[in-house]
Amino acid sequence: LIAKKSKNCYVFFSKRIHLQLIKKIEIEQALQNALVKNEITLVYQPQLNAQHELYGVEALVRWNNEKLGIISPEIFIPIAEKTGLMPAIGAYIMNKAMADISTLQYKMKKSFKLSINVSARQFVQLNFFEALCDCLNCYKSPYMDITIEITESLFIENVQRLRPIFKKMKEQNVSLSLDDFGTGYSSLSMLKNVPIDELKIDKSFIDFITDNKNDRAMVESIITMGKNLGMTVLAEGVETEKQVTILKNKGCDLYQGYYFSKPLTLDALEVFIGNPR
Ligand code: C2E
Ligand code: MG
Ligand code: MG
Ligand code: MG
């Protein structure tokens, strides 16, 4: 046990908590330098239509630190948000993704959608929309087709406040996708008057559609509802052929998951586009 004197009593940390604390401080410090040290990179996961043709890609961020190893975005993005690093990292991601993909699109003379994840804090930041417009102007191209993914929980908490930004996004032809749908308890009545173009059914629903008839029923309802509201419906985390067959029968529009492809480096994406599954 490690004791620390605070005011008039001693506080005891277990060694494990102490180590976790050190690790967290280490991560925070390393993250400060991650951008300048070129440790932040992007990979792209293909999204296909029911004919297995490429429809788009989702940019997914990776952080590889020489001392700490590979750290998942699920760990470091919340830390980046808390320590104020997210606007810089977010702007970097937006720039890099558009630069990578517009170059590839010109090379292949092919248009496809680029989806970019935007975190809660990033989206409500005043200069988010300006940063987005800067990128759109910088990488303007006839092939470019941008979608912003925001998670369902962010969306529910801020829908009224965000309405003006959604409207401005529409004016720039940027689409909006609701990520991790089904995990955030949005009320169905809210969905009917928001400008959502795409619904991403969360992987946790897709996981059990082959053996659980309740999950199958849920997914079927989400697909029907989304399509009736004029949205494109995408299933995320598709891992087996059986899942694809069930989803196709239910009329799902788009598919993303390891069955088709893991997230790829830009070079590997180019190969994939040349010969998709
Ligand atoms: P997400 O946006 O829901 O992304 C899907 C996650 O599921 C990705 O994990 C992807 O690699 C993984 N995945 C895709 N297909 C399969 C599959 O068939 N099986 C399994 N087991 N996993 C699959 P990743 O890349 O670790 O990202 C995790 C989360 O981190 C993302 O969830 C997103 O919320 C966040 N994130 C990733 N990149 C960014 C980014 O650039 N900006 C922001 N703000 N958040 C990001
Ligand atoms: Mg996403
Ligand atoms: Mg998702
Ligand atoms: Mg997710």
- Measure Cα distances from 235 to 47, 211, 241, 262 in Å: 9, 17, 13, 14
Spacing, Cα 117 to ligand 2 middle (Å): 5
Return the residue matching tokens 């400060």.
32
Spacing, Cα 238 to ligand 3 middle (Å): 11
SS3 call for 141: coil
Quick one: pLDDT at residue 3?
Answer: 54
Quick one: pLDDT at residue 133?
Answer: 96
Residues contacting residue 214 through CB under 8 Å, at least 6 positions apart: none
Q: Please state, as a whole number, how many other Cβ atoms lie within 10 Å of the Cβ of residue 61.
A: 22
202 lines ligand 1 (CB under 6 A): no
Residue type, 247: L
> Quick one: tokens of 62?
């990776």
* pLDDT per residue rounded down to tens, the chain (277 residues): 455 555 565 666 677 777 788 888 899 999 999 999 999 999 999 999 999 999 999 999 999 999 999 999 999 999 999 999 999 999 999 999 999 999 999 999 999 999 999 987 788 887 899 999 999 999 999 999 999 999 887 777 777 888 888 999 999 999 999 999 988 766 676 787 778 999 999 999 999 999 999 999 999 999 999 999 999 999 999 999 999 999 999 999 999 999 999 999 999 999 999 876 5
Spacing, Cα 200 to ligand 3 middle (Å): 6
Quick one: pLDDT at residue 121?
Answer: 78
Prediction pTM value: 0.92
Quick one: pLDDT at residue 11?
Answer: 61
Quick one: pLDDT at residue 186?
Answer: 66
Pick the ligand that lies closest to the CA of residue 77.
1
> Quick one: tokens of 117?
């994840």
- Cα three-residue angle 23-29-33, rounded to 5 degrees: 135
Distance of CA 52 to the CA centre of its chain: 21
Within the chain, residue ranges assigned H as helices are 15-32, 73-82, 86-108, 120-124, 128-138, 152-171, 188-191, 203-206, 213-228, 241-249, 266-274
Atom of ligand 1 nearest to the CA of 116: 41
Determine which residue's CA is closest to atom 16 belonging to ligand 1.
237
CA pair distance 58, 85, nearest whole angstrom:
22
Distance of CA 206 to the CA centre of its chain: 17
Pick the closest to residue 197 from 141, 144, 149 (CA basis). Answer: 149
Quick one: pLDDT at residue 276?
Answer: 64
244 lines ligand 1 (CB under 6 A): no
> Quick one: tokens of 261?
């492809």
